[in-house]
Structure 1
Amino acid sequence: MVLRLYGIDFFTCTRRVACILKEYNVPYELVTVDFASKEHKSPAFLEHQPFGQIPYIVDDDGFEIYESRAISRYIANKYRAQGPPLLPESTDVQKLAKFEQAASIESANFHPSAEAITSEKHLGKTPDEDAVARHLAVLKSKLAAYEVILSKQKYLAGDEITLADLFHLSYGQAITNVGIDVLESGEFPNVARWWKEISSRPSWQAVKEKA
């Protein structure tokens, strides 16, 4: 039995998980959820993911877990020997604390604005450009802090790459795809250096269009 990833190949959080699976060379089967028919809100789906969100995984031993960042932590722990040290050992409390700090930076300071921009500029939707400008202004204010952090160290948790950096990939790619080049423009040179490095990883290149 192979690990099963329940999601949609081009969805941001599905690709976040797929990227980490690639980092650890974990074979997986993508089980496509029929979003158009609202399969993710069906009783059968809700038995596995009670919030009706995508994705969740069923590992090869039957273990189930949802929430893309939690799935990523699980993969990095279970398959630690198969890939890079993207998650500090639990015994290194200071490195682990710095990782959790960096992970919180992504979820609290990057994700909300990036998701809002992507939602406004979604294909087939007429965007509220004033709202986009407001969200972009907030995002730039956050990236100014990123610039300070990344001027002192290579990555968000220190000089070693972690999951916290890779958590940015799916929504960073999403805003880039809708014409927001703030990660690449050079306005924040250390951010641009960091983004170029993490987005060039083979794991992301393999799934950046679809899982």
Structure 2
Amino acid sequence: MVKLYGFSPSTCTRLVALICKEKEIPYELISVNLGKGEQKDASFTAVQPFGQVPYIDDNGFFLYESRAIARYLIKNYPNQGTPGLIPSDAKAEALFEQAASIETFNFNAFVAPIVFEKLFKPRRGLQPNEERVAELLAALQGKMDTYDLILSKQKYLAGDSVTLADLSHLPYGAAFYQIGFSEVFDSRPNLSRWWKDISNRPAWLAVKDGA
């Protein structure tokens, strides 16, 4: 059983839990209390030197960084759960890598800081930088127009099969959607169709409220 050291509500911890669910990999969540700063304890940083959640212990193999963990789990457990989350064919894999890069630089780069400003800062008693949010949101709109165009031609970002590139949008995308920016998705028909598809996957519904 994979041991997942993380914080149940955290976006990165839930991404790893999501992939475990998709690949039918049993896991045990070892809770790390971020409020108490347990991620900075020496026992934690001995494995994750940046003091961030999550990391995994897969039968003595330790790995941190949620994107790396997700890729490892998909490749290390190829014969169970959802197939093809990282394609093996060279051209299909290249299209997946293209889609993964799209998510990193054209979605997460804008959505994650908006979520930080509008959700995480208020939880800490801090005021969001609304000017920063407005700038990020304005830049994101054009990116989402391009998503809508891509998704008018195919079902998912890498083609007609779901991949990790699609699923990686879920933790931050769900938070973004729920804090008042649903129109960004809902106003674009192809983007909306895609979002409803991936956000209603059973694996995501199982972890959307906590890993």
My pick for the range that moved more, 74-83 or 34-43, is 34-43
Q: Deviations over 1:112-146 (max 9, x none)?
A: 11111111112434322222111111111111111
Partner of 2:74: 76
Residues 82-93 of structure 1 correspond to what in structure 2 (within 5 A)?
82-85=80-83, 86-89=85-88, 92-93=89-90
- What CA distance in whole angstroms lies between the structure 1 residues aligned with 2:106 and 2:55? 24
Q: Deviations over 1:13-52 (max 9, x none)?
A: 1111101100111111101112122221222211111121
Letter in 1 for 2:49: P
List 4+ stretches of structure 1 deviating above 4 A: none
- What CA distance in whole angstroms lies between the structure 2 residues aligned with 1:148 and 1:205? 27
- What CA distance in whole angstroms lies between the structure 1 residues aligned with 2:184 and 2:45? 36
Residues 39-188 of structure 1 correspond to what in structure 2 (within 5 A)?
39-59=38-58, 61-85=59-83, 86-89=85-88, 92-122=89-119, 123-124=122-123, 125-186=126-187, 188=188
Structure with the higher fraction of residues in helix conformation = 2
- What CA distance in whole angstroms lies between the structure 2 residues aligned with 1:47 and 1:108? 30
Q: Which runs of 5+ in 1 are unaligned?
A: none
Aligned length: 206
SS at match of 1:178: helix
Q: Deviations over 1:52-95 (max 9, x none)?
A: 11111001x21111111111111111112111221111xx1111
Q: CA deviation at 1:183?
A: 4.6
Does the 8 Å contact 1:3/1:57 carry over to 2? yes
Provide the TM-score with structure 2 as the length reference: 0.93
Q: Relative to structure 1, is the Cα distance of residues 193 and 102 closer, same or farther in structure 2, using a 3 angstrom cutoff?
A: same
Partner of 2:195: 195
Letter in 2 for 1:106: E
Partner of 1:8: 7
Does the 8 Å contact 1:184/1:196 carry over to 2? no
Q: CA deviation at 1:201?
A: 0.1
SS at match of 1:149: helix
- What CA distance in whole angstroms lies between the structure 1 residues aligned with 2:147 and 2:51? 33
Partner of 1:204: 204
SS at match of 1:81: coil
My pick for the range that moved more, 32-41 or 99-108, is 32-41
- What CA distance in whole angstroms lies between the structure 1 residues aligned with 2:145 and 2:168? 19
- What CA distance in whole angstroms lies between the structure 1 residues aligned with 2:183 and 2:16? 24
Does the 8 Å contact 2:2/2:56 carry over to 1? yes
Output the aligned Cα RMSD: 1.2
- What CA distance in whole angstroms lies between the structure 1 residues aligned with 2:184 and 2:74? 26
